[in-house]
Amino acid sequence: MTSRRDFIKKSAFASAFVVTGLPKFGKSAQLPSTSGTTKPIVISTWKHGIPANDAAWKILSSGGRALDAVEQGVMVPEADPNNTSVGLGGNPDRDGHVTLDASIMDEKGNAGSVAFLEHILHPISVARMVMEKTPHVMLVGEGAYQFAIDNGFKRSDQGMTPEVKANWEKWKAENKYNPKIDKNNHDTIGMVALDNAGDVSGACTTSGLGMKMHGRVGDSPIIGAGMFADNDVGAACATGVGEAVIKICGSHLIVELMRNGKTPQQACEEAVKRIAKKVSNYKDIQVGFLALNKAGDVGAYSIVKGFNYAVACNGQNRLFDSDYLVKE
Ligand code: ASP
C-alpha cells in the first residue's frame, strides 16, 4: 500500500498541487491513503476532472454506486460545448467530423463501449446501455448511432464552435491533411471510483486525438486499453496518445500489476516504462495513467511533464500534478 509520504512525494503534492475550491463537501484535508481504506473516492484525468469529480461525489457521498458516479461524472465534460477534447465540442477529425469514443465497466466485470459515434451528446450513456441492454461489449459508427436513436437518445446537430472550426481550418492549411500525433492534441476524461460498498467502476470518454484520420479509434473505448476495472483489485484509466496505450493494453496491464502486488503508483510507473521500451518515439508523445486500488490508494504517472489529475475524497476535490518519466 502506498504510504502517505510516498503518495505525497510521488504526486508532487508538497510543491505542486492546486486547490481549486470545492469546500462544498466536508472539511477534512486527509489524502488517500494512510492505512485502512479511503472510501468513497473518485479520481479523474486533467483539470476537467474537478467538475466531473464534483458530480460523481454527489452520488458517492450519498452512498451511491461507483458505476452511477463515473457515468454522471464524465457526463459533465461531455456536455460542455467548450471542451475541445471530450464530447461534441471536441476537435474534429481531419475531414471535419467529430467522432466520439467511450467505455464503461461496472463492479461485476460487465463492460460496454462505443466508438466512432457521431451526433450523440452522451456517448458514455450509450456505452452503458450497450453494457446493460445488449449481449455485446462494443458498437461502432452508424450501428452505435442507430442503437442510440432506437433507445431514446436524441440526435444533436451541434456543429463545431467557431474556435474549433478556425483551429481545424488552420490545421488543414498548415499540415496539408497529414494526420499528426503530438504531445498537445489530447485530453480525454478517464475516471475511476470506489464507492462506500467497496465496489470499483470506471468510465472513459473522448473525442479522440484532434485531426485524426477519419475512422481512427483510440484507446478510450477499448476495454483494457483506455480503462479497466476489476472489483478484486481496482481500476485504471489512460489519456494521451491512444496508439501507445493500445499497444501495451495499458489499463489492463496496470490492474494486473496491482493484482500481483504493485501499488497503484508502481503499476502506473511500470506501464509508462513499458511504453518507453516498446514505442520508439515515446519522448515525442504524452500518455498519462491513473490507478486506484481497493484500499483507495491512488497512482498517477505520465511520459512527459504536464499531466494532471483530480482526486475527490475525504471531503476535498483537488488537482495534482503527476510525476513523469522523461526529466531531461
Ligand atoms: N487517448 C485519446 C485517444 O487516443 C486521446 C486523449 O487522451 O485525448 O483517442
Give residue-wise pLDDT tens across range 20-71. Answer: 333 333 333 345 554 568 899 999 999 999 999 999 999 999 999 999 999 9
Q: 204 alpha carbon to ligand 1 midpoint, in Å?
A: 10
The tens-digit pLDDT sequence of the chain (328 residues) is: 333 333 333 333 333 333 333 333 333 334 555 456 889 999 999 999 999 999 999 999 999 999 999 999 999 999 999 999 999 999 999 999 999 999 999 999 999 999 999 999 999 999 999 999 999 999 999 999 999 999 999 999 988 999 999 999 998 888 766 655 565 566 899 999 999 999 999 999 999 999 999 999 999 999 999 999 999 999 999 999 999 999 999 999 999 999 999 999 999 999 999 999 999 999 999 999 999 999 999 999 999 999 999 999 998 999 999 999 999 7
212 lines ligand 1 (CB under 6 A): no
Ligand 1, residues 239, 287, 304: which to mutate, most atoms within 8 A of Cβ? 239
* Residue whose cell numbers read 478484486: 232
The number of the ligand 1 atom at minimal distance from the alpha carbon of 241 is 4
| pTM, to two decimals | 0.89
CB 44 within 8 A of CB 190: yes
pLDDT in tens, 66-93: 999 999 999 999 999 999 999 999 999 9
CB 239 within 8 A of CB 210: no
Q: 190 alpha carbon to ligand 1 midpoint, in Å?
A: 10
Cell numbers standing for residue 247:
499497444
Alpha helices in the chain (DSSP H): 4-10, 13-16, 49-60, 66-78, 123-133, 141-150, 162-175, 242-247, 250-259, 264-278
Q: 264 alpha carbon to ligand 1 midpoint, in Å?
A: 21
99 lines ligand 1 (CB under 6 A): no
Query: What pLDDT score was predicted for residue 21?
Result: 37
Q: 179 alpha carbon to ligand 1 midpoint, in Å?
A: 14
Q: How far apart are CA 66 and CA 39, in angstroms?
A: 11
Annotated catalytic residue, options 38, 99, 188, 263: 188
Q: Whose CA is nearest to atom 9 of ligand 1?
A: 208
Q: What CATH number does the domain containing 286 carry?
A: 3.60.20.30
220 lines ligand 1 (CB under 6 A): yes
Helix axes 66-78 and 123-133, enclosed angle (nearest 10): 150
Cell numbers standing for residue 95:
475531414
Number of domains composing the chain? 1
Q: How far apart are CA 140 and CA 90, in angstroms?
A: 18
* Residue whose cell numbers read 483494457: 224
C-alpha closest to that of 305 among 290, 285, 319: 285
Query: What pLDDT score was predicted for residue 184?
Result: 58
Q: What is the DSSP letter of 186?
A: -
CB 272 within 8 A of CB 301: yes
Q: How far apart are CA 93 and CA 207, in angstroms?
A: 9
Ligand 1, residues 187, 188, 249: which to mutate, most atoms within 8 A of Cβ? 188
Q: What angle do CA 113, 220, 210 make, to 5 degrees?
A: 120
Ligand 1, residues 186, 189, 251, 309: which to mutate, most atoms within 8 A of Cβ? 186
Query: What pLDDT score was predicted for residue 35?
Result: 53
251 lines ligand 1 (CB under 6 A): no
237 lines ligand 1 (CB under 6 A): no
Burial class (CB in 10 A: 0-12, 13-18, 19+), 178: exposed
Bridge partners, 274 (sequence order): none
45 is catalytic: no
Q: How far apart are CA 176 and CA 319, in angstroms?
A: 37
Burial class (CB in 10 A: 0-12, 13-18, 19+), 127: buried
90 lines ligand 1 (CB under 6 A): no
Residue 26 CB: number of other CB atoms within 10 A? 13
Domain of 135?
A: 4-324
CA distances from 22 to 25, 49, 50, 161, 232 (A): 7, 12, 9, 29, 31
83 lines ligand 1 (CB under 6 A): no
302 lines ligand 1 (CB under 6 A): no
